Structure 1
Amino acid sequence: MTTDLAAWRQEFPILATTTYLISNSLGAMPRGTASKLAEYANVWATRGVRAWEEGWWEMPVSVGNMLAPIIGAPQNSVTMHQNVTIAEAIVLSCFEPGGKRNKIVCEDGNFPSVMYFYAEQKGLRLVTVPVERLAGAIDEETLLVPTSHVLFKTSHLQEIRPVIEQAHKVGAHVVLDCFQSAGVVPVNVTELAVDFAVGGCLKWLCGGPGNGWLYVRPDLMDRLEPRFTGWMAHAAPFTFAPPPLERTTGPMRFLNGTPQIPSLYAAVEGLRIINEVGVANIRRRSRMLTDRLLEGIVEAGLPTITPRHGERRGGTVAVNPPDAEAISRELLARDFLIDYRPDAGIRISPHFYNTVDEVDTILAEVAALAQHRPALRVTRGS
């Protein structure tokens, strides 16, 4: 691990041409990722089908093993998947709603894709509540609690232990979504004793799209039988035997069809860097930069829904001046890469590779554009 975070800027080419403050949406690509993707192409070109027995087959687990230390998970407990929705589907397929235990409970600020998935399941009831009421909504009728560690709009960092404890007390299971925390906020799934955790390398882990992941608590792994399955979960896949499925043991049990090999190559450099820098170091840097952002936003009199207290905040600060969407478009036109979300405003997300100067500059730009929004409407046609 290293505390010289400024030295890492040269490893992210886009930082030389933009003010990149959107790692909550898509982390900057490491320089070495281009070489990794070229390596994939070369292996395919020169090794062909032999690549499967020379590392490709195991990549959903070997890349998961690179991610495991970042979330405090043991080796061989994390598998890689296309996205979080698929990971959630794998988890749900391990359970059969029975009797009154057919309730899915989550906070109303959960990511929509997750809520869409559960809302469409026959025989299940999706119950959403404000995040502060989540633990109290979990009862003996609850099957699963898919919940966000950090909420994507507000950047609220949830106190998750009471949720897990209440779920376990009544026989429910928790699926902790760490997409907006892993890589920027310390999380230890082992200490939390959480049943499942999901996330992706797309954002703070700088691994690109197509790299969702699933953690399964080791004592549950061989007891569960996911019905969302496929040939990679077979104990002897190359026998191509007809059903019923003879399930393998360990993490491969939670795989299904042929994996997304190019995406897995793309994830490696980001995971290597985050492991080397260390999440504790990243968190200190993030706290300093987001504290500075919030102080500037408050001083400018701009509204925000992001928690002021750093212990309750993830890596993002949302600022919501009038005409926030138009202001966000203007910022993008000026190569300040941020994003806009309804009811949240402009999301600004410095990572360990960002600087104090970049934070001060974006603050000045937002304040100036908010002050002169009539001119902005004319020039941007909004």
Structure 2
Amino acid sequence: MDIQSLFTQKDGIYLLNHSVGCMPASTREVAEAQFFDAWENGTPDPWSQWFPVFEQFQQSLARLFNSDACQFCPQQNVSSGLSKLLSAFPPASQNNGRNVILISENDFPSIGFVMQQASHYGYEVQFIKDDEDVLDTATWQTHLTERVYAVLITHGHYNSGKLVPVKDVISIARKQGVMSIVDIAQTAGVIPIDFTDWQPDVVAGSCVKWLCGGPGAGFLWVNKQVLNQLEPVDIGWFSHKNPFEFNIHNFEYADSALRFWGGTPSVLPYAIAKNSIDQMCNIGVKKVREHNVMLARKVIDALPASWLVSPDEDQYRTGTLVVNPPNREAIEARLNALNVHFDVRKRGFRLSAHIYNTPEQIEQVINALL
């Protein structure tokens, strides 16, 4: 399989896959066939050809994460999904003293912005501090007290490349009677993930990064065991059990995760993302992960250990490698001269190699770093 031919190729060396994955080569054809052609030629209107796109998106996610399609609800992004989830929580006063939502200071800032809105429902946010070890389950055990109603577990930390042992944390939360909410935006498509194995309560994710699905196609997954406990406020006709009933006096929540959907949805992002998810499934996330680890190890083994911000152990590292050399400005200039696409954050350079990156490219990056 010629992997490179399956994706549009950028000039230079593209290592920004933690931000936006490269577009599949088939994307324009899919957009024309499933969106524009239906809009132009669909009779009596395009909706009969657009509606199947959403179910196909759900089915592709189910294949990727080993779950049921009905447990996925399309969302624009992670923040929109989590906002809807917060509105579905019962008032904190009804939770027998459980009024805390636990998150980490190293979660993506947007997560914190959303979760702090829980104060409107009587909850308070508590943080696992920046310097605490989120790779150690004892850290989570300490914070998951009887006051915690829900814990937000970010599978992969954007600023360090740390890969949290989600399954173990979910198990601790379950034993403590705490709802587990997992953010997989930084890991979906590069780390094999099995929801049946994890058994979380809620998962939020996006297709824009390693899944190469473009912006606008996020999703919320809800465990059937907690679905009926959650009644979102932010709803629309697609949240209805029967969207085509058209009785303004009667609303019933959908008996699937679609109760979190809302009003008339976008179509194009989900057609594009569905195609991309299928391509990633056909390649195999396990294969993507093995390739990513192989390229990351080349960099890690070539650099001084003191430069490494991300964990050295492969099982604790996401697809993103963060390095912090002492002469950052000079190295940044060399990488830019080589036309390497990367970014720089407070903790260092973020370098994310995907299945379409080659060992030869990484050797060039290593030479520029040194």
Same fold (TM over 0.5): yes
Q: Quick one: structure 1 residues 50 and 315, their matched pair in 2 at CA, closer, same or farther if it must change by over 3 Å?
A: same
- What CA deviation, in whole Å up to 9, does each residue of 1:42-64 have, x standing for no partner? 2111116622223x234334202
**Pair 1:21-2:15 in alignment:** yes
- What CA deviation, in whole Å up to 9, does each residue of 1:234-276 have, x standing for no partner? 1232343325522222232221121121111221231111110
The question of whether the paired residues in 2 share the 8 Å contact of 1:297 and 1:319 is answered with no
Aligned to 2:61: 67
RMSD (CA atoms): 2.0
Aligned to 2:107: 110
1:319 pairs with 320, 323, 339, which one? 323
- Percent identical among aligned pairs is 28
2:88 pairs with 91, 94, 97, which one? 94
Aligned to 1:348: 351
Aligned to 1:295: 301
Q: State the Cα distance separating 1:95 from its structure 2 match.
A: 1.2
Aligned to 2:220: 214
Aligned to 1:274: 280
Q: Which moved more, 1:84-93 or 1:217-226?
A: 217-226
Aligned to 1:339: 343
Return the letter of the residue paired with 1:119: Q
- What CA deviation, in whole Å up to 9, does each residue of 1:56-83 have, x standing for no partner? 2343342022022222222322122100
Q: State the Cα distance separating 1:287 from its structure 2 match.
A: 1.3
Secondary structure at the counterpart of residue 237 of structure 1:
coil
- Aligned counterparts, 1:190-201, within 5 A: 190-201=196-207
- What CA deviation, in whole Å up to 9, does each residue of 1:171-225 have, x standing for no partner? 2111111111111111111111111111110000000001111111133334532
Return the letter of the residue paired with 2:287: N
- What CA deviation, in whole Å up to 9, does each residue of 1:143-187 have, x standing for no partner? 211111111111111112332122112221111111111111111
**Pair 1:37-2:35 in alignment:** no
2:144 pairs with 129, 138, 143, which one? 138
The question of whether the paired residues in 2 share the 8 Å contact of 1:234 and 1:245 is answered with yes
**Number of matched residues?**
357
TM-score of the aligned structures, taking structure 2 as reference length:
0.90
TM-score of the aligned structures, taking structure 1 as reference length:
0.88
**Pair 1:147-2:161 in alignment:** no
1:246 pairs with 243, 249, 252, which one? 252
Q: State the Cα distance separating 1:356 from its structure 2 match.
A: 0.6
The question of whether the paired residues in 2 share the 8 Å contact of 1:107 and 1:134 is answered with no
Distance 2:217 2:273 in 1: 7
The question of whether the paired residues in 2 share the 8 Å contact of 1:105 and 1:128 is answered with yes
Distance 1:296 1:49 in 2: 62
Flag structure 1 segments of 5+ consecutive residues without an equivalent.
368-382
The question of whether the paired residues in 2 share the 8 Å contact of 1:167 and 1:173 is answered with yes
Flag structure 2 segments of 5+ consecutive residues without an equivalent.
none
Return the letter of the residue paired with 2:111: V
The question of whether the paired residues in 1 share the 8 Å contact of 2:212 and 2:276 is answered with yes
Aligned to 1:126: 125
Q: State the Cα distance separating 1:89 from its structure 2 match.
A: 1.5
Q: Quick one: structure 1 residues 331 and 177, their matched pair in 2 at CA, closer, same or farther if it must change by over 3 Å?
A: same
The question of whether the paired residues in 2 share the 8 Å contact of 1:206 and 1:267 is answered with yes
Q: State the Cα distance separating 1:326 from its structure 2 match.
A: 7.2
The question of whether the paired residues in 2 share the 8 Å contact of 1:97 and 1:143 is answered with no
Return the letter of the residue paired with 2:361: E
